[in-house]
Structure 1
Amino acid sequence: MARVVPSQIVAFVDQNLKKLQAGRLSVSHTSVAGLTGIVRLIDELPTELLTISGNDYNDLVRGVETIRNSVAFWQQNASRDIGIADIDGKNVLQILRHVLTKCPDQSPSHATVELGFITDDVFRDNIRLDISTATSALHNGEWKAATVLAGAAAEALLLWAITNAPGLSNLVQKPKGAPEDWYLREYITVAKSLDLIKNNTEQLANLAMNFRNLIHPGRAQRLREICDRATALTALAAVECIVRDLN
């Protein structure tokens, strides 16, 4: 099944609003397909993308049920158009559009690890989104995407851990420049030196780093390796172990 996102439904609502003539929204032979299509798309929205709550969520439910009930009533009286009542003086489609514009097209799934130890909300959500997308890519058989995104999440987690480690300034041997300018290999080495990650995590992270580098055609051709299910699983395992150690 194709993945439905809020912006897709908003565009569909706009198409139907343009077809409306001045006056009241109604269910008819010409409008019923568009109305039921909007309701079906909303029903198929992934739950993690419904980030609204309170009155916004109430408006979404009222709007959907208003259309659903009006269509059901029209089906029993299909010989005439059935007007759809406004909600608080507003067109139902306009209400749905307003609510859906507040929902993102991307959001971490509820199953994604919370990363509660990271206090920066934006940084934490970006890493969670990479982990969630990498996991989804794995399930969809998109091995390269899963490998690369998991590697990116591992790099971001180690960067956060290192920059927040109290012992970083006392480290005798460390790469030149600011941590933001280091490479993943250096993050792994420094994180291990600071006892932020365990031995097996270091090994997995190094494997994930090597697999992520397979995105470079020259390296992949030279090593005669490609991203596959094994590389994706290894990269995601490295992320899980890093999270476990940092937690």
Structure 2
Amino acid sequence: MRGDVVQGISNTKNLQLSPDTTIPCSNDINVIPTSSPSTSSSTSLLSPDMLDNPFQYPTLHRLLQGIRTYLNDTRYAMHYGYYMDKNNMPYFFSELENPEELVQLCSPLIDRCRELINKFVKYDIREVDIASLAYIIFSLECEKLSLHTDVIENQKNIVFGEMHANYVKNFGYEQGGVKFANVLCLLHDIMDLTNHIVESLAIGKIFVPEFLDVWDEMS
């Protein structure tokens, strides 16, 4: 499988909204060039065996790379130093058998990813917004897995409060409220996209069994 190097983002492990609020980000958010993307390394906030959908946090990171590195482009950042170009997808799969079938499987996903990147650009999504969304998704996952605690709930409320205060401070009361609502609406798009990824991989196991994805054991 082939690809090209993308630029990494900062090595910050935690992103702060205020001195009193620290939102846990990905455990390893650097994009590291490798010879093959087949080596698995989890970038989620939960361990893989606890995740209902392990694609949510890496997808957030890749979408952030899209608005930073591939703005107004046809490329989508993949894991660990690779991108996939919508206009040249067979190249990415050229070392595998039946690349045409893989292109048919992945092309709709890349289209949806680019659409979501365009939404991120439209709403001027910042790194702090990505971090906030990551923690909200984390709390939702905990609720689904019956792992929700008072600490997680209190932290979620702090995040919501800090987000709203940040938007009001930077965009005014009215526009800040609009931006707050638009950012929260992206939760549906992100979770819908990652569910689509899981479903596509399940289909791929049946119709394209030679396709080994880096997240195969988690899906």
Tell me if both proteins adopt one fold, taking TM over 0.5 as the criterion: no
The one of the two structures with greater contact order (alpha-carbon pairs below 8 A, sep at least 6) is 2
Indicate the structure with greater helix content: 1
TM-score of the superposed pair, with normalisation by structure 1? 0.27
Going by fraction, where is strand more abundant, 1 or 2?
A: 2
Structure 2-normalised TM-score? 0.29
